[in-house]
Amino acid sequence: MKENKKVLLGMSGGTDSSMAALLLQEAGYEVTGVTFCFYEKDGQTAYLDEARELCERLAIPHLVYDAREAFQKHIIRYFIDTYMKGQTPVPCTLCNNYLKWPLLQQIADERGIYHLATGHYVRKVQAEGYWHIRCGADPDKDQSFFLWGLPQTILERMLLPMGELTKVRVRELAAERGFQRVAHKRDSFGVCFCPMDYRSFLKEHLPEGSIVPGSFYDEEGHCIGKHEGYPFYTIGQRRGLGIYLNKALFVKQIIPEENKVIISDNLQSLEQNEMYLHQSCVINPEALLGRDDVVVKIRYRKQANRCTVTRIDADRLHVCLHEPLASIASGQAAVFYRDDKVLGGGIVE
Ligand SMILES: Nc1ncnc2c1ncn2[C@@H]1O[C@H](COP(=O)(O)OP(=O)(O)OP(=O)(O)O)[C@@H](O)[C@H]1O
């Protein structure tokens, strides 16, 4: 499609996408807002009304797209199933890779709109002919970790009005323009459809008896206590185990078939020197593969480790870690960076 001044903006009703609408309009773009219904929380639809009201105030079209079926199947079901396999899910990453951005692209294509936008705190940059996501200017809000899997056809069309701003500045800009409600909305945290405590979510969404109590074992196979069901634990977890032995204990392994959780008091025994990824995305093979100046992050807020990446096949990557890394959990995402540029990523096997 030929580039034009039209942009389709994903609007959640929150501060960031609302401010994105204002800033894009001020920059001369013809904005259309779209709000996806991803799930229904107690029938609440206030977010739809808020997005619609803002669009009315800005005199821009507002679309509502019902994505509940796809979200239920590909995100909520996957989230529950992954925990039931004893793994750690990454719903926000998968939602961006397979739902949010592809849907924006599909709807924009149908309407002859070239640009795609969200209120994500990221920037983009072109290097050696490839578009890359770049960390947002606000280190506290940077969301680059969730956007490693997007194809060039989406990256080239992205507009990211929050990328150069801090959240504090975004709130000031909203207040200066007289959008008090937008300026003072609460930040959202964690996984949008699930409360901070994912255990109660799993209990609520699974038939009774799906998760049953079992035993903790040490590395020698001795039973050292009772747990509430293996899906409630993640590799590397230290807090909330309910075993008190006067020393730090970590979840080392989860064996779903036997409902066993293996515990270690030695963090070093959880360390690994390599990992395999699937569902991988390599943006520019020359910038990532076989290089020794790449870092990998396996958690949103965790420190980055140096690594060398090689390709096994079209889907899989091998990651050799230059220093061992503890708490690698299967199911979670690994994201590659050089400086603040995202080079690709994958899901830990
Ligand atoms: N239901 C939705 N419909 C359309 N776009 C959405 C929806 N939810 C999120 N988005 C888009 O994805 C971006 C990132 O969403 P996320 O929930 O991670 O961030 P956020 O900081 O809560 O953003 P916001 O303040 O805009 O709600 C949003 O800024 C918005 O552009």
Find, among 263, 268, 278, the residue nearest to 315 by Cα. Answer: 278
pLDDT value at residue 115: 98
Neighbours of 167 (CB within 10 A): 17
Instruction: Quick: pLDDT tens for 79-115.
Output: 999 999 999 999 999 999 999 999 999 999 999 999 9
CA-derived radius of gyration, the chain: 22
Domains and CATH numbers, the chain: 6-183 (3.40.50.620), 212-268 (2.30.30.280), 271-348 (2.40.30.10)
Top-confidence residue, 190 or 184? 184
- What CA–CA distances, in Å, run from 234 to 74, 200, 237, 268, 348? 21, 15, 6, 17, 14
Q: Going by CA atoms, what residue is nearest to atom 31 of ligand 1?
A: 118
The binding-site residues of ligand 1, defined as CB within 6 angstroms of any ligand atom, are: 10-12, 14-17, 34-36, 38, 100, 118-120, 188, 192
For 120-165, write each residue's pLDDT tens digit: 999 999 999 999 999 999 999 999 999 999 999 999 999 999 999 9
Q: Which pLDDT value is given to residue 241?
A: 92
More confident position, 299 or 341: 341
| Residue 95 appears among annotated catalytic residues | yes
Phi, psi torsion values for 211, nearest 5 degrees: -115, 120
17 is known to lie in a ligand binding site: yes
> How would residue 322 be classed by pLDDT, with cut points 50, 70 and 90?
very high
Mean pLDDT value of segment 7-20: 96
- ipTM higher than 0.90? yes
**Entry pTM:** 0.95
Count, in order, helices (H) and strands (E) of the chain: 11, 17
Q: Using alpha carbons, select from 20, 7, 28, 5 the residue that is nearest to residue 115.
A: 7
Q: How far is the CA of 323 from the centre of ligand 1 (A)?
A: 35
pLDDT at 45: 87
For residue 135, indicate whether it is catalytic.
no
pLDDT per residue as tens digits for the range 339-348: 999 999 999 9
In 235-293, the DSSP E strands lie at: 250-255, 260-264, 272-282
219-255 pLDDT, tens digit each: 999 999 999 999 999 999 999 898 888 899 999 999 9
Atom index in ligand 1 nearest the CA of residue 143 equals 18
Residue 196 pLDDT greater than 80, yes or no: no
Predicted confidence at residue 40, as pLDDT, reads 83
pLDDT confidence tier of residue 44, bands split at 50, 70 and 90: confident
